[in-house]
Amino acid sequence: MAIGSAKVMGFKLMDNFKGPWFSKNMTEFYRRWHISLSTWIRDYLYTPLGLATRYWGQYAYVFVMFVTFILFGFWHGANWTFIYFGFLQGLVLTYEAWSRKKRRRFAKKVNKTAYNLFSMILTFAFWSYSCLIFRANDMADVWTLTKNAFAFDSNVFKPSLFDHRMGLNVMGTQDGLLELYAACFAIVLVIIVHYIEYKDDVIEFIGRQPRAVRWAVYYLLIFAILFWRTFNQQDEFIYFQF
């Protein structure tokens, strides 16, 4: 939205996201996610701390990584959930740095496609859990949500409960199915767009397509904006609070 609005006024902003969902590890993820913030943290926090502790040996990297990402979490708000969020990022990134050579040797011994796909899924799963922590109200919520995420209930697949969750009432009308189909369509669309973004520039990619394809995309976007619009002031954009 910011990039598009700036282009209307003749300004070109930096790309802030570059297909992060296809990252094969968290190190790559932070090179593709919120690039402006990640770059600022690297230049004004991580690098100065690294220079200041360069004589500490192997422990310098651990110290700098944890301090950087704990402060990165704290930047989002004075809450233990954000501290825990940053701590986990530092923990995983430290592990990736220390295990890089071993993971590369292992990758050469297995199927490359399968290894990359598994790495993408694992990275996405970790980030999804991180977002659960990020959105929790407090640490008690974090533990409750974590426990429930791994609590498998056989009743969840019963037709009556499934119908209720899908928005189907007892009369058999399928009001909720439209939203279900729209959500599935949106997920597929987002995956396609992110893959294009991962490999290319989305705007330039669309610009190279035939006129019919370009206008179909434009009308699809207009329809999506109208379909998922919200004028409720309570549903404000998450980053308005930071």
Please identify every residue annotated as catalytic: 76
DSSP 236: -
Dihedral sign, CA of 209, 213, 218, 222?
A: negative
Opening angle at CA 165, ends 159 and 171, nearest 5: 65
Q: Which tokens go with 232? A: 């409720």
Alpha carbons within 13 A on the beta-carbon side of 58: 4
Interatomic CA distance for residues 123 and 104, integer angstroms: 16
Interatomic CA distance for residues 242 and 222, integer angstroms: 29
**Closest to 206 measured CA to CA, from 32, 28, 11, 7:** 7
Residue 110 near residue 122 (C-beta atoms within 8 A): no
Residue at token pair 């926090």: 45
Interatomic CA distance for residues 202 and 237, integer angstroms: 23
